[in-house]
Amino acid sequence: MNQARIYTNIKSLYGITANLPRNKAGREMKEFDHLDSAWLLISEHGTIKNFGPMNSVPEFSGTTIDCSGKLILPCFVDSHTHLIHAGSRENEFVDRIKGLSYEQIANKGGGILNSASKLHLSTEDELFEASYERLNKAISLGTGAIEIKSGYGLSLEGELKILRVAHRLKSVSPIPIKVTFLGAHALPMAYKNNREQYINLIINEIIPAIAAEKLADYIDVFCETNYFSVSEMEQLLDCGWKYNLKPKVHVNQFNSIGGIKSAINKKAISVDHLEIMTPDDFEALKNSNTIPVALPACSFFIKIPYAPARQLIDCGLPLTLASDYNPGSSPCLSMPFVVSLACISMGLLPEEAFNASTLNGAAALELQNEYGSIEIGKKANFMISKAVPSLNYLPYSFAENWIDSVVISGK
Ligand code: NIG
Ligand code: FE
């Protein structure tokens, strides 16, 4: 058990919510509620016990931490990552500098299939060690809850391998991990002339096997031209529901092919990417409970359009931001950078970007009752900034490390 402790003289305590068991949408996202000159009391169970203004600071005999000049904010919740992979793909990065596109690189054997070949040559232990290191790096960058996808296995053994690594990470991780099965990430070469066979393998063998070992919470599909069609996604999501795997899907990264509407019909928790959006896609989202997730680091890195995040918020939606960390399109674990990019390249206000990456991220992982904001009873997962002039300074000072320390479950 921890010791109770109090943080005092906090310049501003941000991300406060009171009885808000949901995310923020539209206009509400402009409010990242805060208290200036505050104290924050953490219980011995690692939860938030209370907070208030310094003129009413309680008598306290335990550890006291002075936060003069510093801000406290809830940790980020990174709701979309491909954290477990083997090796890296910096040669593809150089190919892009030389003029090839992400799609051209995939067509010549790079891309997801390149990572799948590397994963097949790695042991579970090697994958575990490498991803454990990445997890700790993410935490040091302020991430206090995370989602991890499979999708580099692309066979029964491969997907079980990557999901077992995720399971092992979960058992040692100080932060909560939600796991997503992404068997339909790319079509393996061996099925090039028989797509149906791969879909059947996922439905008849892989999903039942991972459900039997309880290895995943969600199911994902890369619904995109040259990857998986809308009707293939629908078959897979229907099968997922039979095994209690809720959908969170990759849609509209390069083309709008109807994936958003179909995912909404299949009661997807979230639709992620959204770089290419039609008016119909907006309409479908406006009439749904599905959460739109934007991934600006991917747009930045492979130079594709940014999701229309400003417009999504302006039409009242609960925009969410995540890193999309992966070795091909976003080798970036830094949520502070994602927040800066959202402000710089998507026109979000700092308050909107922080709501999108904390409380709204938690909702995209169904963790909003315990994570994502400063609220009595929630887990004490928060970041303490260095001494900074204001909240606006954080995204403004992009590529600078403004985090002084990260507290996870009160530690
Ligand atoms: O979200 N677009 C599909 N999946 C990843 C990229 C995976 C990779 O290139 O390895 C993404 O961008
Ligand atoms: Fe992704």
CATH of the domain at 394: 2.30.40.10
Mind listing the pLDDT tens digit for each residue in 133-186?
Answer: 999 999 999 999 999 999 999 999 999 999 999 999 999 999 999 999 999 999
Q: Given this model, what pLDDT does residue 122 score? A: 98
Same domain, yes or no, for 22 and 156? no
pLDDT over threshold 90, residue 25: yes
Same domain, yes or no, for 383 and 296? no
For residue 136, give every residue at least 6 positions away whose Cβ sits within 8 Å of its Cβ, in sequence order, or none.
Answer: none
Q: Which ligand 1 atom minimizes the distance to the CA of 111?
A: 9
Same domain, yes or no, for 82 and 52? no
H or E segment to which residue 314 belongs: helix 309-314
Same domain, yes or no, for 353 and 395? no
Query: Which residues keep their CB under 5 angstroms from ion ligand 2?
Result: 324
Same domain, yes or no, for 148 and 261? yes
Q: Given this model, what pLDDT does residue 11 score? A: 98
Atom 5 (ligand 1) nearest CA = 329
207 lies in some domain: yes
| CB-based contact 92:105 (threshold 8 Å) | yes
Same domain, yes or no, for 57 and 205? no
Q: Given this model, what pLDDT does residue 108 score? A: 87
The set of long-range contacts for 378-381, using a CB threshold of 8 Å and a minimum separation of 24, is 378/47, 378/48, 379/46, 379/47, 379/48, 379/144, 379/409, 380/42, 380/43, 380/46, 380/47, 380/48, 380/407, 380/409, 380/410, 381/74, 381/75, 381/144, 381/145, 381/175, 381/407, 381/408, 381/409
Same domain, yes or no, for 228 and 253? yes
Same domain, yes or no, for 154 and 228? yes
Atom 3 (ligand 1) nearest CA = 222
Same domain, yes or no, for 190 and 64? no
260 lies in some domain: yes
From ligand 1's centre to the CA of 148, what distance in Å? 13
Q: Within 10 Å of residue 369's Cβ, how many Cβ atoms?
A: 14
pTM over 0.95? The answer is yes
At 1, the pLDDT band (50, 70, 90 cuts) reads low
From ligand 2's centre to the CA of 390, what distance in Å? 32
Using CA atoms, how far apart are residues 269 and 338, in angstroms rounded to an integer? Answer: 21
Q: Is the CB of 222 under 6 A from ligand 1?
A: yes
Atom 11 (ligand 1) nearest CA = 329
369 lies in some domain: no
What is the overall mean pLDDT for the chain?
97
Atom 6 (ligand 1) nearest CA = 329
400 lies in some domain: yes
CATH number of the domain bearing residue 357: 3.20.20.140
Q: Is the CB of 328 under 6 A from ligand 1?
A: yes
Mind listing the pLDDT tens digit for each residue in 29-50?
Answer: 999 999 999 999 999 999 999 9
State which residues form the domain around 51: 5-74+374-407
From ligand 1's centre to the CA of 81, what distance in Å? 9
Q: Given this model, what pLDDT does residue 76 score? A: 99
From ligand 2's centre to the CA of 249, what distance in Å? 9
H or E segment to which residue 353 belongs: helix 350-357
pLDDT over threshold 70, residue 214: yes
Structural domain count of the chain: 2
